[in-house]
Amino acid sequence: MAKGKINVAVENIFPLIKRFLYSDHEIFLRELMSNATDATLKLKHLSSIGEFKENLDDVKIEVKVDKKGKKIHIIDQGIGMTKEEVEKYINDIAFSSADEFLEKYKDEKNDSGIIGHFGLGFYSAFMVGREVEIHTKSYMKGEDAAHWICDGSPEYTLKKSKRTERGTEIIIHIDDDSLEFLEDQKIKELLLKYNKFMPVPIKFVLKKLLILSIRQKQQKIKMVKKQRRIKK
Ligand SMILES: Nc1ncnc2c1ncn2[C@@H]1O[C@H](COP(=O)(O)OP(=O)(O)O)[C@@H](O)[C@H]1O
Ligand SMILES: [Mg+2]
């Protein structure tokens, strides 16, 4: 197991992220869905040039809300990351862009426009989460799955994960000031607002009632009873 400290000028970046992005917390879902989509499309690209042989017809992105456990899970079947890639892309690059953003806009007023342009990305999860975990397994054969945990301080833990399937699961432990995001209706609303026309199907099961399947091919939204399967 590795413990590390993210290299950062601001000692604790996350309260700042929260403060500056206050009016626009909901974009965390859009950012994480966009990462999940990128990861899936990267794998599809590798497949199209013959570097990945498994079937990708049914790949999807799943969103799960665990209200009791106060968690949101975003699960993709994309390219995944090795431990080294987590270190590089999450600890170094993504964090430095969050850090850079704060350095630049520390004294500015809330401006959600700026944030959108900046592409704060992964770390926007800390706008609603008190802790964020990543379980990820690379598409590359023989690579161990990695488990990254960060509680909002620049310290993180990176160890082996038990994940056996290719792809990435992001788990956000929702903060007490953001409990509204544990409501199915809220997540449904955000998925419809930001992710209606994404190139990868989304699965989101609304508790007991419905499966919301956002299907890009027909570019329409379909609600079906839980008992029915989602057809491609
Ligand atoms: N679900 C994911 N699967 C694979 N890699 C990911 C995933 N989420 C994030 N990453 C990696 O972390 C990096 C940083 O993400 P992010 O902060 O959103 O910045 P950006 O998406 O603009 O590159 C991504 O470029 C990618 O390499
Ligand atoms: Mg991103």
Question: Over pLDDT 70: what percentage of the chain?
Answer: 69
pLDDT score of 218: 43
For ligand 1, atom 18, the nearest C-alpha belongs to 121
pLDDT score of 146: 98
At 168-215, the pLDDT tens digits run: 999 999 999 999 999 999 999 999 998 888 899 999 987 655 555 555
Q: Indicate the SS3 state at residue 224.
A: strand
For ligand 1, atom 11, the nearest C-alpha belongs to 89
147: pLDDT strictly greater than 80 = yes
CA–CA dist 166, 168 (Å, integer): 7
115: pLDDT strictly greater than 90 = no
CA–CA dist 231, 108 (Å, integer): 48
At 119-128, the pLDDT tens digits run: 568 888 988 9
In a domain, 215, yes or no: no
Whether the Cβ atoms of residue 18 and residue 28 lie closer than 8 Å to each other: no
The closest alpha carbon to 187, from 43, 42, 67, belongs to 67
Which protein residues touch ligand 1 with a CB less than 6 Å away? 31, 35-36, 39, 76, 78-81, 89-90, 94, 119, 121-122, 168
Instruction: Sort strands 155-160 and 220-225 into parallel, antiparallel or unpaired.
Output: unpaired
Instruction: Sort strands 202-206 and 61-66 into parallel, antiparallel or unpaired.
Output: parallel
> For position 86, which CATH number holds?
3.30.565.10
pLDDT score of 88: 87
User: What's the N-to-C CA distance of the chain in angstroms?
Assistant: 40
Position with higher pLDDT, 115 vs 146: 146
In a domain, 32, yes or no: yes
Task: For residues 32-51, give the mean pLDDT.
Answer: 95
At 59-79, the pLDDT tens digits run: 999 999 999 999 999 999 999
DSSP, residue by residue, 14-54: HHHHHHHTGGGTTHHHHHHHHHHHHHHHHHHHHHHTTS--S
In a domain, 17, yes or no: yes
In a domain, 28, yes or no: yes
Number of domains in the chain: 1
In a domain, 227, yes or no: no
pLDDT score of 227: 38
In a domain, 219, yes or no: no
Q: How many residues does the chain have?
A: 232
82: pLDDT strictly greater than 50 = yes
In a domain, 213, yes or no: no
pLDDT score of 228: 41
